[in-house]
Amino acid sequence: MDERSDETRGLSTREEEALFRALRAADEGLWDWPDQTKSDMWWSSRFRSLLGREQGFEAATVESLCELVHPEDRESFCEFLSAERPEDGCAQRDTRVRNAQQGYRWFRFRCRTSRLESGQVTLSGTMRDVTSEVEIERELERTQRRMTEAQRIAIVGNWEWDIGRDEAWLSEELYRIFGCRVEDGPLGQGWIECVHIDDRETLIAELERSKRTGFFDESYRIVRRDTGEVRWIHAHGETLYDSQGAPT
C-alpha cells in the first residue's frame, strides 16, 4: 500500500486529492488509536518514514511507540496519550522520539478525542518533525539568558518605546535599576513615575524631541521604588521610522 492510499482510504477521489496535497505540504504523518482499551494503533506511511522505519518495523502499538520516546520524555508522553479528555478535546505535545538513522529528534504530536456511537473512545492525530524549530527556540532562550546576565553584571538595561501605541518595554535589569520586580507585572509607562519629579518634565520633552532628531541622550535622576534612594542614570536611544517617515 503506498503512502497516498494509506493516508486517504475511505475518502472520495476529490477529498483524497485535497487531503493528500495538504499532508504533503505540511509534511505530517497520521496516527490513530482506535480503541484505548487495547494497545493496537495505526500509523501512516509518512508517520513511519519520519521515524526512518519504513521497512521491517515492529507492529504499531502504544508500547512500541513509547519505546521510541526519549527516556526523559517517556512517562509524560504516555500520560499525554492516555489522558482523559472531553469529546473533541484537542491536545499538543513536543516530544523527543528516536529516528532510526538520525537519532533522537523533536516531534510535535497533535491529537483529538472522538467517541463512536458504540461509546468507544478513539484518539487520532498528526506528527511533524519540529527539531529545527525547537533548536532555534532554545538558542534564542540561551541568547536571552546570556544578555540578561551580561546586563546584570554591567548594571545596564535596555528599553523600547512603541510610539504608535505609546507603550514601553523594559528589560529585567532596568526593573532592578528602578527598584521594581518583574513578577509584580509590567511596568510599562509607569516607569516615568520612578523619575525624580524635578527631572520628569525635561525628560518627557527630550523624548518628544527625539521623534524629530532621531536620537535620545539624557542623564536624569530616578527614585528607586523599593528603597526611595535617589540615583543618577544615563539613557540613550535611536528613533526608528516607518516607510512614510513617521517615528515608530
pLDDT per residue as tens digits for the range 207-245: 999 999 999 999 999 999 999 999 999 999 999 998 888
Confidence of residue 3 (pLDDT cuts 50, 70, 90): very low
State the pLDDT at residue 98. Answer: 94
For 151: left if phi > 0, alpha if psi spans -120 to 50, otherwise beta; the answer is: alpha
Report the pLDDT averaged over residues 87-102. 88
Nearest Cα neighbor of 88 from 67, 105, 106, 113 is 113
pLDDT at 117 exceeding the cut of 80: no
HSE on the CB side for 64, CA within 13 Å? 14
CB-based contact 218:206 (threshold 8 Å): yes
CA distances from 242 to 36, 210, 238, 239 (A): 55, 15, 13, 10
pLDDT per residue as tens digits for the range 187-207: 777 888 899 999 999 999 999
CB-based contact 91:68 (threshold 8 Å): no
Task: For strands 159-162 and 167-170, give the pairing.
Answer: antiparallel
- Cβ neighbours of residue 135 closer than 8 Å, sequence gap 6 or more: 106
pTM assigned to the model = 0.61
